[in-house]
Amino acid sequence: MKIIGIDLGTTNSAVAIWQNGQVELIPNRLNEYLTPSVVHLSQEGKVLVGRAAQERLLTHPHSTAAVFKRYMGTDRKLTLAKKTYSAPELSAFVLKSLKEDAENYLGEPVTEAVISVPAYFNNTQRKATILAGELAGLTVERLINEPTAAAIAYGLHEKPEHTQFIVVDLGGGTFDVSIMEYFEGVLEVHASAGDNFLGGEDFTELLVNQFINRLGTSKNQLKPNELQLVQAQMEQVKRRLNQADVVQVEPFLQAQKQTISLSKDEFLKLSEPLWQRLQRPIETALRDAKLKPSDLDEVILVGGATRMHYFRSLIAKMFRRMPAANLDPDLVVAMGAAIQAGLKARDAALEDWVLTDVCPYSLGVGTHNENDHLGTQGNLFSPIIERNTVIPCSRISAYYTISDYQTQMLLEFFQGEHRLVKNNISLGKLELRLPKARKGEEGVTVRLSYDINGVLEVDVEVISTGEKHYKMILNSPSQVSAQEIAASQAKLSALKFHPRDQELNMTLLVRAERLYEGRLGQEREEILQALRWFEAVLEQQNVSEIAEAQTRFTEFLDQIEHDRLF
């Protein structure tokens, strides 16, 4: 039985197979390699997927869905033809269409697949992707990170002897960065970072908003089909601005009475915040890999949105070299997924290949927050396996009781980078009993082990008695219940003029949170201690002490940030 490789994209999807010693891209019903990730459902219950559904998006927006990959792992439902569908269900329609294309191409049933996901997808989003595969009748043999898949395709085709390179993947809805090293048939991932809500669609949306503003109306005043028409037109404007300095948009709406001009300078100015967001994951990945831009031999571009000329010039400026795009950026991920599928099938032509990957998020437990006097923050996150640790891996930490004669301990496991557990993803809980003792005299060791298939094993041992507890957290849809809704945001203090409300304090807190999420090890611990101290000062509500603390905290953050890479 053959295993196919699938790139399940936000905007477009593709499927490929490894056979006859090479990657073969599989065409769809229209003899095209790219299938738009769009689903239309008629009143009669007929499903359209791909380009036909994309056309319906303009004329029947109420019964057509697109860009639903962004909702993977959430509770959001989309209504089509008076019925609601989740993101995994809509993705299953796309996967089923690709599965049928593969079966038609190969002339045999297909039941197994390797599916690509953004490197920065969390555990919940990955489970949703596996669920989508199962709903489509596919056993998902493995999820592969999109930049890793691109790197496999690059390594196989270019066959470099030894090189360190960075894969920059800007798709329709997500942005991923992975730093890798290739040597003697081994492809080793050193670090991954990304933004799950940044992609080509966001740049298009800027033009949509600008056009509607110039039109002198609002989105609410446009009919759904008119809004989709604007979306399609602005996508074309975005592409044309690659070549032209100004694009004239002729009247195409009833409300448009004259030609509207949109310039490249205007677009670049509007998109400046997005360009800045692109830099942060790149810097995080370089920092985690302990590399400078000059240490890299190659920069590889993946994803259709990398065709924006300004994006390419920005990357060239950052790394002081022209990026490589030797393979089609829209298809290279599917090619890499197919090679991984060939590895899973133990194809003889790939027997000398070895692939390592990393854990994209930190894994750890929630711990008591002794400084949360007002009960507004909740528990703190204690990382055990830090992000970008090579997998498979196993790490251990010890935790102790927080009150006298405590006889129970509830361990909750999380995935994420935020210091507060309420802002991370809960993976599961384990409750155990302890002998009575004074505070801090009883404790447990917690070992977390994580493998390349997303299986998290938890081994807990009570230190005094040697009693052992075990829990396995699988990366499978059978573990998925209704999405846990995170606790509501802590309400502001009842005091009318609480210092947290002040803009400078909030700016400093947000800046510190950003730096905490972007650093590791000792540096991260120092930021955590500084954050705790500043929050403790704010809770005292002493104006003069807060003013002094603002100055000291600002100086501390400036010092942390003085070594920016870009």
Q: Assign a CATH topology to domain 361-496.
A: Substrate Binding Domain Of DNAk; Chain A, domain 1 (2.60.34)
42-56, 135-149, 157-171: which has the highest mean pLDDT? 135-149
> How sure is the predictor about 346, in pLDDT bands with cuts at 50, 70 and 90?
confident
Average pLDDT, the chain: 87
| Contact in structure between 46 and 62 (CB atoms under 8 Å) | no
Element (H, E) at 99: helix 87-106
Give the pLDDT confidence score for residue 566 in this predicted structure. Answer: 55
Q: Is the pLDDT of residue 350 over 80?
A: no
In this predicted structure, which of 63-77, 283-297, 335-349 has the lowest mean pLDDT? 335-349
> How sure is the predictor about 496, in pLDDT bands with cuts at 50, 70 and 90?
very low
Q: Is the pLDDT of residue 72 over 90?
A: yes
> How sure is the predictor about 492, in pLDDT bands with cuts at 50, 70 and 90?
very low
Give the pLDDT confidence score for residue 434 in this predicted structure. Answer: 94
Q: Do β-strands 363-367 and 443-450 pair in parallel, antiparallel, or remain unpaired?
A: unpaired
Rounded Cα distance between 80 and 61, Å, is 9
**Range 376-402 average pLDDT:** 93
Q: Each residue of 170-215: pLDDT tens digit? A: 999 999 999 998 887 788 889 999 998 899 999 999 999 999 999 9
**Range 334-339 average pLDDT:** 94
> How sure is the predictor about 292, in pLDDT bands with cuts at 50, 70 and 90?
very high
Q: Is the pLDDT of residue 433 over 80?
A: yes
Strands (E), 200-294: 246-249, 260-263
* CATH classification for the domain delimited by 3-198+273-358, as one of 3.60.21.70, 3.90.1150.10, 3.10.150.10, 3.30.420.40: 3.30.420.40
> How sure is the predictor about 158, in pLDDT bands with cuts at 50, 70 and 90?
low
Residue 359 pairs in a beta bridge with none
- CATH 2.60.34.10 segments of the chain: 361-496
Residue 356 pairs in a beta bridge with 188
Give the pLDDT confidence score for residue 466 in this predicted structure. Answer: 94
> Residue 518 region, left (φ>0) first, then alpha (ψ -120 to 50), else beta?
alpha
> How sure is the predictor about 564, in pLDDT bands with cuts at 50, 70 and 90?
low
CA dist list (Å): 136 to 26, 95, 145, 147, 352: 18, 6, 20, 24, 32
* pLDDT cut 70: percent of the chain above it: 91
Contacts of 502 (CB under 8 A, 6+ apart): none
Give the pLDDT confidence score for residue 481 in this predicted structure. Answer: 44
Give the pLDDT confidence score for residue 420 in this predicted structure. Answer: 94
Of the candidates 98, 90, 92, the residue with the CA atom closest to the CA atom of residue 25: 98
Of the candidates 370, 553, 410, 482, the residue with the CA atom closest to the CA atom of residue 131: 482
Residue 7 pairs in a beta bridge with 14, 116
Q: Each residue of 444-486: pLDDT tens digit? A: 999 999 988 778 899 999 999 999 999 988 755 444 444 432 3
In this predicted structure, which of 41-45, 175-179, 222-226, 345-349 has the lowest mean pLDDT? 345-349
> How sure is the predictor about 487, in pLDDT bands with cuts at 50, 70 and 90?
very low
Give the pLDDT confidence score for residue 174 in this predicted structure. Answer: 92
| Residue 327 vs residue 400, higher pLDDT | 400
DSSP category for residue 61: G
Q: Each residue of 75-123: pLDDT tens digit? A: 899 998 788 888 998 999 899 999 999 999 999 999 999 999 998 888 8
| Residue 158 vs residue 418, higher pLDDT | 418
Give the pLDDT confidence score for residue 485 in this predicted structure. Answer: 24
Give the pLDDT confidence score for residue 349 in this predicted structure. Answer: 64
Q: Is the pLDDT of residue 494 over 50?
A: no
Q: Is the pLDDT of residue 277 over 90?
A: yes
- CATH 3.30.420.40 segments of the chain: 3-198+273-358
Rounded Cα distance between 141 and 345, Å, is 10
Q: Assign a CATH topology to domain 200-272.
A: Actin; Chain A, domain 4 (3.90.640)
Give the pLDDT confidence score for residue 58 in this predicted structure. Answer: 76
| Contact in structure between 199 and 175 (CB atoms under 8 Å) | yes
Rounded Cα distance between 225 and 202, Å, is 19
Rounded Cα distance between 36 and 51, Å, is 6
Contacts of 330 (CB under 8 A, 6+ apart): 12, 14, 33, 34, 303, 304
Give the pLDDT confidence score for residue 503 in this predicted structure. Answer: 55
What amino acid occupies position 17? I
- CATH 3.90.640.10 segments of the chain: 200-272
Give the pLDDT confidence score for residue 287 in this predicted structure. Answer: 94
**Range 14-30 average pLDDT:** 93
**Range 283-287 average pLDDT:** 94
